């Protein structure tokens, strides 16, 4: 019998979720709004320092609505971090705009402030107008270099929409990711810091913006007794059932963050000294990643094994790992999109691997992962 499977990042319930779902059934609030939605939004808003939050059907929907609120229209350009999941960029296309991709810096793996400025200047030169928005991502929970990104954005007066889908609970200089930009998206997909089975949220800067987001998320219905629409709307609101799961999950968010951080530190400690392995780590004390996923870089020349060979060895031991996100500028669907880069995200993509990091992993599970990585490195005879 093979050993039990170790998954990359599984959802973990607090036990409180059922209570809120039951409440929704008992009061017949089985609709895409209701008391759980309001309470979940309040919980999230309080967590993010008092920002108004709108609960939606997905993080992707949040980015889409965010772009609409920023006035992104057909023909506009929007700058997006290239090293990310496709959901960061696809809503740019939904809005009829064009993505411009910018490479990462080496330390945070997130958008390089220097390349961002280079891209803005070049787009102004080439198109005669400024990009309409900037989407930095706090990938794998690591805060982007947000102070420098905001400084560039302010210099050219371009709004920032943070993609905080993977970074709930991460902090930069004591402030939570998702509370920096004019807007931010969160995701509660099954593998994220907390889940609502599927869902997301738009973090706003002021209540007016949140009202506008709710308006677009509920089919843009005009204030009339009949159904009248002067604008195109969407059906993007979170259901009261999903929000019930979210309320339960909020009670274990801090515990989830602590556990993912603890797992990261066990990996780092237990794998220290292996040649050719390095980690995505907080570059300075200002950065405080939630370590949503612990990521490693494997240098074949020193390790004797590539990240993909390692992935296959792990798979043979019933352990799930995953390559890093394939950068958007390398995606067939985005071939032809402008890209400003220096090879950083390609380098990371070719050598990186995400390790199992879910909050329900036991220390023994982590030890098993460590053991197989050590075995894979030893197999090469170099260590
Ligand atoms: C970086 C990033 N952005 C956006 C999303 C989209 O979130 P959702 O799956 O809730 O639409 C995800 C996750 O799926 C993500 O990892």
pLDDT in tens, the chain (383 residues): 788 999 999 988 999 999 999 999 999 898 888 999 999 999 999 999 999 999 999 999 999 999 999 999 999 999 999 999 999 999 999 999 999 999 999 999 999 999 999 999 999 999 999 999 999 999 999 999 999 999 999 999 999 999 999 999 999 999 999 999 999 999 999 999 999 999 999 999 999 999 999 999 999 999 999 999 999 999 999 999 999 999 999 999 999 999 999 999 999 999 998 999 999 999 999 999 999 999 999 999 999 999 999 999 999 999 999 999 999 999 999 999 999 999 999 999 999 999 999 999 999 999 999 999 999 998 765 54
CA–centroid distance, residue 142 to ligand 1 (Å): 15
- 104 and 150 housed in the same domain: yes
**What is the per-residue pLDDT for 32?**
82
CA–centroid distance, residue 281 to ligand 1 (Å): 22
Q: Could you tell me if the CB of 59 is within 6 A of ligand 1? A: yes
Would you say 15 and 255 are in contact if contact means Cβ atoms under 8 Å apart? no
CA–centroid distance, residue 58 to ligand 1 (Å): 8
- 322 and 175 housed in the same domain: no
CA–centroid distance, residue 163 to ligand 1 (Å): 8
Mutate to test the pocket of ligand 1, among 86, 139, 189, 290 (most ligand atoms within 8 A of CB): 189
Q: Could you tell me if the CB of 357 is within 6 A of ligand 1? A: no
Which atom belonging to ligand 1 lies closest to the Cα atom of 192?
Answer: 13
Which atom belonging to ligand 1 lies closest to the Cα atom of 58?
Answer: 10
- 226 and 330 housed in the same domain: no
| Residue 267 resides in a domain | yes
CA–centroid distance, residue 166 to ligand 1 (Å): 7
CA–centroid distance, residue 192 to ligand 1 (Å): 9
Mutate to test the pocket of ligand 1, among 81, 84, 163, 165 (most ligand atoms within 8 A of CB): 165
Cα–Cα dist 271/93, whole Å: 42
**What is the per-residue pLDDT for 152?**
98
- 261 and 365 housed in the same domain: yes
| Residue 123 resides in a domain | yes
Domain edge (last residue) among 233, 252, 271: 252
- 122 and 43 housed in the same domain: yes
Would you say 227 and 218 are in contact if contact means Cβ atoms under 8 Å apart? no
Would you say 345 and 100 are in contact if contact means Cβ atoms under 8 Å apart? no
| Residue 114 resides in a domain | yes
- 258 and 214 housed in the same domain: no
Question: CB atoms < 10 A from the CB of 135, how many?
Answer: 27
Cα–Cα dist 249/17, whole Å: 7
CA–centroid distance, residue 350 to ligand 1 (Å): 22
Cα–Cα dist 229/226, whole Å: 10
Tally the domains of the chain: 2
Look at the pTM and tell me if it is higher than 0.95.
yes
Domain edge (last residue) among 232, 252, 272: 252
CA–centroid distance, residue 272 to ligand 1 (Å): 31
CA–centroid distance, residue 315 to ligand 1 (Å): 25
The pairing of strands 352-355 and 294-298 is antiparallel
The pairing of strands 277-279 and 200-203 is unpaired
Domain edge (last residue) among 252, 274, 304: 252
Question: CB atoms < 10 A from the CB of 70, how many?
Answer: 21
Can you say how many angstroms the Cα of residue 353 is from the centroid of all Cα atoms in its chain?
A: 17
Q: Could you tell me if the CB of 141 is within 6 A of ligand 1? A: no
Non-local CB neighbours of 315 within 8 Å, separated by 6+ positions: 321
Mutate to test the pocket of ligand 1, among 9, 187, 200, 292 (most ligand atoms within 8 A of CB): 187
Cα–Cα dist 238/11, whole Å: 19
**What is the per-residue pLDDT for 383?**
47
- 51 and 194 housed in the same domain: yes
What is the span of the domain harbouring residue 290?
254-379
Would you say 233 and 218 are in contact if contact means Cβ atoms under 8 Å apart? yes
Q: Could you tell me if the CB of 58 is within 6 A of ligand 1? A: yes
The pairing of strands 161-163 and 183-187 is parallel
- 243 and 341 housed in the same domain: no
Which atom belonging to ligand 1 lies closest to the Cα atom of 187?
Answer: 10
Cα–Cα dist 337/88, whole Å: 15
- 169 and 84 housed in the same domain: yes
- 248 and 259 housed in the same domain: no
Which atom belonging to ligand 1 lies closest to the Cα atom of 188?
Answer: 10
* Burial tier of 137 (Cβ tally within 10 Å: 0-12, 13-18, 19+): buried
- 176 and 268 housed in the same domain: no
Phi and psi, residue 314, nearest 5°: -60, -45
């Amino acid at each position: 019998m093979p050993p039990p499977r170790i998954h990359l990042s599984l959802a973990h319930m607090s036990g409180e979720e059922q209570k809120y779902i039951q409440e929704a059934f008992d009061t017949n609030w089985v609709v895409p709004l209701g008391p759980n939605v309001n309470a979940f939004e309040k919980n999230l808003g309080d967590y993010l320092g008092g920002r108004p939050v709108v609960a939606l059907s997905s993080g992707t929907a949040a980015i889409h609505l965010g772009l609409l609120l920023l006035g992104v229209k057909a023909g506009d350009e929007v700058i997006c971090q290239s090293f990310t999941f496709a959901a960061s960029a696809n809503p740019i296309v939904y809005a009829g705009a064009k993505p411009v991709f910018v490479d990462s810096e080496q330390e945070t793996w997130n958008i390089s402030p220097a390349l961002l400025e280079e891209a803005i200047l070049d787009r102004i030169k080439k198109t005669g107008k400024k990009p309409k928005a900037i989407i930095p991502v706090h990938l794998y929970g690591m805060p982007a270099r947000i102070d420098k990104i905001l400084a560039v954005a302010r210099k050219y007066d371009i709004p920032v929409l943070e993609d905080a889908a993977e970074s709930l609970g991460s902090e930069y200089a004591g402030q939570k990711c998702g509370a920096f930009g004019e807007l931010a998206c969160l995701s509660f997909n099954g593998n994220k810091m907390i889940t609502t089975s599927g869902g997301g949220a738009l973090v706003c800067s002021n209540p007016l913006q949140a009202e506008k987001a709710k308006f677009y998320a509920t089919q843009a219905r005009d204030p009339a007794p009949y159904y009248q629409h002067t604008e195109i709307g969407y059906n993007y609101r979170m259901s009261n059932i999903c929000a019930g799961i979210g309320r339960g999950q909020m009670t274990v968010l801090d515990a989830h963050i602590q556990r993912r951080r603890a797992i990261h530190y066990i990996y780092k400690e237990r794998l220290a000294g292996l040649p050719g392995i390095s980690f995505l780590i907080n570059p300075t004390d200002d950065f405080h990643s939630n370590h949503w996923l612990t990521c490693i870089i494997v240098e074949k020349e020193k390790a004797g094994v590539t990240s993909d060979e390692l992935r296959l060895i792990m798979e043979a031991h019933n352990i799930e790992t995953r390559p890093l996100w394939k950068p958007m500028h390398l995606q067939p669907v985005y071939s032809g999109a402008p890209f400003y880069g220096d090879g950083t995200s390609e380098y990371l993509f070719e050598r990186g691997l995400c390790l199992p990091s879910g909050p329900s992993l036991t220390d023994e599970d982590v030890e098993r992962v460590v053991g197989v990585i050590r075995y894979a490195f030893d197999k090469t005879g170099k260590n």
